[in-house]
Amino acid sequence: MKKRVVIYGDSNTWGYDAVTGGRFNEDIRWPMVAAKLLGSEYRIYEEGLCGRTTCLDDPFNEGLSGLTYLLPCLQTHSPLDMLVIMLGTNDCKERFSLTAANIALGMRRLVKKALEAEVWRDKPNILVIAPGPILKECELSDVGKNMGICSDKSYEIAKEYELIAKELGVGFFDSASCVTMNDIDFMHLTEDSHKALANRVSEIIKNTLESKELKA
């Protein structure tokens, strides 16, 4: 059976294209590019949703809590070998009034729920990805009318996520090391960033699962 990996995220996993307002095609979206790089031995499940948060119910949009949907999502695609989570950007919205440490507690709930879920082929393998920071210019863009004051806390998420990952014994990657945001809404990945992120994450997935096989 192919190695089965769920990639769970928001609009930057779904592939939002700020230029068109639509969706990047499969040749650009980072989960699908990662799938091509990993090859036929892997099955990548692309689970991105615009507006998704770690664990918050949005007062204006239904069904965006990542915590509520996580278990049925994992059960749908089980048995799983790995889960990759990149969330937190939408938690930065001003209306939620969260600090970066609060947002990390939301990620902590997601990871703990996944660790305890009966969906794993063997043992859980989870990678937490800190999303690229929201640029300050976003707050003055059209998207800023919805996001509000959101940039500063987004720069603090990575260090908080790293602490949570260490506590729970899961993998961590800071995507800011390889991605940049577009110059339209300043919070969504450029085409080149999708490709760069796919390269880095596919390497981590492969190293995680293949080193596990060697140890076994």
Domain of residue 102, CATH code: 3.40.50.1110
Does the model's pTM come out above 0.75?
yes
Domains in the chain: how many in total?
1
**Distance, CA of 213 to CA of 215 (rounded, Å):** 5
pLDDT digits (tens, 9 = 90+) for 104-140: 999 999 999 999 999 999 999 999 999 999 999 999 9
22, 13 Cβ separation under 8 angstroms: no
Check pLDDT > 90 for residue 212. no
**Distance, CA of 136 to CA of 113 (rounded, Å):** 33
Return mean pLDDT, the chain: 96
Band of residue 213 on the pLDDT scale cut at 50, 70, 90: low
Domain that holds residue 190: 3-215
